[in-house]
Amino acid sequence: MKKANKILIFLSFSTMALSAAKIANAVCPVCVVAVGAGLGFSRWIGIDDAISSMWIGALLVSLSIWTIIWLDKKGWGFKYKKIIVPAAYYLLTFLPLWYYGIIGHPFNIIFGIDKITFGIIFGTAVFLATVWFHNYLKQKNNGKSFFPYQKVVLPVVILLIFSTILWTII
């Protein structure tokens, strides 16, 4: 696929994602697009799987949170949705990667585990920590963010910092 087509497809999906969003929730649409863009860009320029997968983990968390909020708004709440929704997203990510042999390659290992698995777990933990940190900061500031787009800036900047740290280790 030509570079121009890739960019056009990316911009189309980004525009659709932003236009479908109605209000900012626990994880805003801009953040999801930023995480997705970070993932696509890092793979496109050949960054290591552990780093790219860190962004996959962050994207899975934000998609899970978004889906749970959407289900609640539609009145489709059900028992254990906070377990079932993320589990479904993670399974729908891991199973195809495993089936096609992308996960489990013997030479694609970091710290004794598969780089993609490590990256997704690490990215999930980092993103959850940044969501918690954002909420903590808002609580300390009487329910207001300290700066505009704090909800977007914190996860993206912290993921970039950890991506850089992981890149220097690899």
What percent of the chain stands above pLDDT 70? 76
Give the pLDDT confidence of 35-50 residue by residue, as tens digits: 556 656 776 788 888 9
Beta strand segments in 6-116, E = 109-110, 113-114
Quote the tokens at residue 107.
């030479």
Contact 122, 54 (CB under 8 A): yes
- pLDDT above 70: residue 34: no
Task: Label the pairing between strands 113-114 and 109-110.
Answer: antiparallel
For the question of whether the overall pTM of this predicted structure is more than 0.75, the answer is no
Residue 101, pLDDT > 90, answer no
